[in-house]
Structure 1
């Protein structure tokens, strides 16, 4: 059994958390081929991504509170088992309807990794150090989305799109023994919470009324919506509209992830030096700059791979800084219900992103314009959420602490 504070535990939690991006990113290069194989349109295949996010969001409302009562480990074991079965259903789906059902079940199981991985870090490291650890976890975990589209493209070329879901099933099967035998339980019995519906709803109501929690959550959700708009539309824009190959798409996606990786390293390095509030503020400006640049190029009629990928790399640097810091900021004031806070955080993040992804699919005009405008709006709304909610909440909290010290 691993020690709670060992580096191996952090790596294990990162591997468990990586299930989310793997299930999202590995099949992106195969989406046009899946549409042809299942005799359906791009909007239906893109719906597999939005439905996954919707299921992911819904599952988080339950897995967090259940983990607050029974512990992180048993809930994750159940989730990974469900994900394994659902991945096999996707692999052998005879129609788009079966694939949509499989993706929804995948989401219900896959949600446990990211949600409870975040909560476990908060259990172990506390409110301040959790931001730094989450940043370095994100750096380690960024290998998953960097490699996933390349692996997915290779599997598509040599074995067909079904093999992507078979590999996801194997990943879940490999993680289960590690989860059962090696990972310790991070939530001590004395900190367990009731799962009575009234207790859960009371926690959610308190969190929804907490300006700090909502500020960091909405800032995160806005930036994540810009990222999800790219995930939803980029394969059709780059492969169908701009004519890049699935393998080239995987390489371009690696550049996107490299931007995220740089951002997470900056987040971890400057977490103590600059502080959470300043880091998040700078990151939202970077996201807005990248999104607005992509939109400006599309509105000017510049339709080329570099005009899509280049600005989004900049956007993802901001996302890499912002994601772990906003997660830490939302969970920091809520140690007594970290699971519920992580659940509600993820639910709002994924629900907003799923709506945005559905809009990109429905409004797709065959070019990069719709996607670029939505990415830009995501960056601008992140700035607005930071200025309107996060900064006032942090300033009010700092003032209150100063007054308490004086007295």
Structure 2
């Protein structure tokens, strides 16, 4: 493979991986403007994130079997086409209910891109290069929370909020053209692969019976819910409560993303000295400590904008350490059924994330309290899940230090 070809493939696969996160982060600065246009509240706007997370959760389980049955590109064409249609639907939305439905289908479409990209890394590159390729994709993915909110804030300030979805539509069209003309089919369709519910459900049940998977996937998903709580309510906290401008919000969001991205990169250094199990335990204790202080401070009005940013940064650092390790420990027991395990891992993450964003909408308070409360509850549940679940793990399988795992 030539260097030019290698770089082109990385750019296309990186774009596919980043499409979903970009679709989340880019419209956050427009929450207030969209709520005003649709004659609803910023709190209820969080339901558009909830529907998106549910869509990704469903899509995780949907595309794994389809990619094995029909090859990589046909399901990818379907997913990108669905994403484009749903994005146009978002552009023309005239009610909160319509936007919620369109965001659900937009998520199912974007999920095809991320799942196919991860599968095609294994298809297109030698096994010994997979970890390096995943690292490059993570760097592309990491640009999303830094660039998307800033771009979205400037678009919202200069144009109507609908332009955000117009730009997302254009991005998806360009990615689709790149996939059609420059991305090879990396896996031939397998007509013998059964799409009947029974064998597919059987694979999932086999994975769920593994106590190590169940313990670390659930505690990791609850810990990761802190990130979803932040994403769901960040625009409400900073724009509605602290009255920062849309442009300033974009820069704050980009700065806070350094906590998550930086700590996840630090994790690879820490793994040279500590085991994943140790890092999970330490990071969850840190998450509980930080989020509970954030909750107590929010209840008593201790924190202004500076203190709130500091507490959120601390929580995101804990999530950045915990998630790669819980994910690696979840998948470590599987040489077979790794695809089903990966799909369930993603589904748990998104389903619990959707629950967290729904919790934000339920707590009626124009303050950082809803964010802090959901962060604290999810962190405590994550730690309890770990402490209880570890008692039932009889045969522990260690995680690999070079596990390539991608998450938003």
The TM tier, using the shorter chain, reads 0.7 to 0.9
Q: Distance in 1 between the 2:326 and 2:118 partners?
A: 12
Distance 1:104 1:138, change over 3 A: same
Does structure 2 conserve the Cα–Cα contact (< 8 Å) formed by 1:115 and 1:346? no
Report which stretch shifted further, 359-368 or 172-181.
172-181
Does structure 2 conserve the Cα–Cα contact (< 8 Å) formed by 1:131 and 1:271? no
Match of residue 344 from structure 2: 344
Distance 1:14 1:215, change over 3 A: farther
Residue by residue over 1:250-269, the C-alpha shift from the partner in whole angstroms, topping out at 9 and shown as x without a partner, is: 11111221111212211333
Match of residue 405 from structure 1: none
1:385: how far off? 3.0
Report which stretch shifted further, 110-119 or 13-22.
110-119
Q: Distance in 2 between the 1:2 and 1:362 partners?
A: 53
1:173: how far off? 1.3
Match of residue 307 from structure 2: 307
Match of residue 358 from structure 1: 358
Say what the alpha-carbon RMSD is for the aligned residues. 3.0
Q: Distance in 2 between the 1:283 and 1:158 partners?
A: 41
Quick check: 1:155 aligned with 2:155? yes
Which 5+ residue runs of structure 1 have no aligned equivalent?
399-407
Does structure 2 conserve the Cα–Cα contact (< 8 Å) formed by 1:29 and 1:250? yes
1:74: how far off? 2.7
Q: Distance in 1 between the 2:199 and 2:350 partners?
A: 23
Distance 1:384 1:9, change over 3 A: farther
Match of residue 404 from structure 1: none
1:192: how far off? 7.9
Distance 1:334 1:73, change over 3 A: farther
Q: Distance in 2 between the 1:320 and 1:290 partners?
A: 14
Q: Distance in 2 between the 1:227 and 1:284 partners?
A: 14
Match of residue 65 from structure 1: 65
Does structure 1 conserve the Cα–Cα contact (< 8 Å) formed by 2:70 and 2:188? no
Q: Distance in 2 between the 1:297 and 1:200 partners?
A: 47
Residue by residue over 1:35-77, the C-alpha shift from the partner in whole angstroms, topping out at 9 and shown as x without a partner, is: 1111122343221111111122122221122123233333223
For residues 201-212 of structure 1, the aligned pairs below 5 Å read 201-212=201-212
Match of residue 143 from structure 2: 143
Report which stretch shifted further, 384-393 or 167-176.
384-393
1:11: how far off? 4.8
Q: Distance in 1 between the 2:19 and 2:324 partners?
A: 17
Residue by residue over 1:305-363, the C-alpha shift from the partner in whole angstroms, topping out at 9 and shown as x without a partner, is: 22222111122122223333333333343344333222222222111111221121111
TM value normalised by structure 2: 0.87
Match of residue 40 from structure 1: 40
Distance 1:143 1:327, change over 3 A: same
1:396: how far off? 3.2
Report which stretch shifted further, 70-79 or 203-212.
70-79
Match of residue 30 from structure 1: 30
Residue by residue over 1:211-262, the C-alpha shift from the partner in whole angstroms, topping out at 9 and shown as x without a partner, is: 2222221122112211111111221122111211111111111122111121
Distance 1:2 1:337, change over 3 A: farther
Match of residue 16 from structure 1: 16
Distance 1:181 1:210, change over 3 A: farther
Q: Distance in 1 between the 2:263 and 2:376 partners?
A: 18
Q: Tell me, what secondary structure is at the counterpart of 1:195?
A: coil
Does structure 2 conserve the Cα–Cα contact (< 8 Å) formed by 1:60 and 1:346? yes
Distance 1:125 1:304, change over 3 A: farther
Residue by residue over 1:150-207, the C-alpha shift from the partner in whole angstroms, topping out at 9 and shown as x without a partner, is: 1111000111110111111111112113333434455577898432211100011111
Which 5+ residue runs of structure 2 have no aligned equivalent?
399-408
Does structure 1 conserve the Cα–Cα contact (< 8 Å) formed by 2:46 and 2:232? yes
For residues 247-266 of structure 1, the aligned pairs below 5 Å read 247-266=247-266
Match of residue 234 from structure 2: 234
Does structure 2 conserve the Cα–Cα contact (< 8 Å) formed by 1:135 and 1:264? no
Quick check: 1:291 aligned with 2:299? no
Higher fraction of helix:
1
TM value normalised by structure 1: 0.87
Q: Tell me, what secondary structure is at the counterpart of 1:169?
A: helix
Does structure 2 conserve the Cα–Cα contact (< 8 Å) formed by 1:135 and 1:265? no
Q: Distance in 1 between the 2:383 and 2:2 partners?
A: 40
Distance 1:316 1:61, change over 3 A: same
Does structure 2 conserve the Cα–Cα contact (< 8 Å) formed by 1:146 and 1:257? yes
Q: Distance in 1 between the 2:341 and 2:101 partners?
A: 28
1:107: how far off? 1.1
Q: Distance in 1 between the 2:309 and 2:283 partners?
A: 18
Distance 1:153 1:225, change over 3 A: same
Q: Distance in 1 between the 2:321 and 2:184 partners?
A: 29
Distance 1:17 1:192, change over 3 A: farther
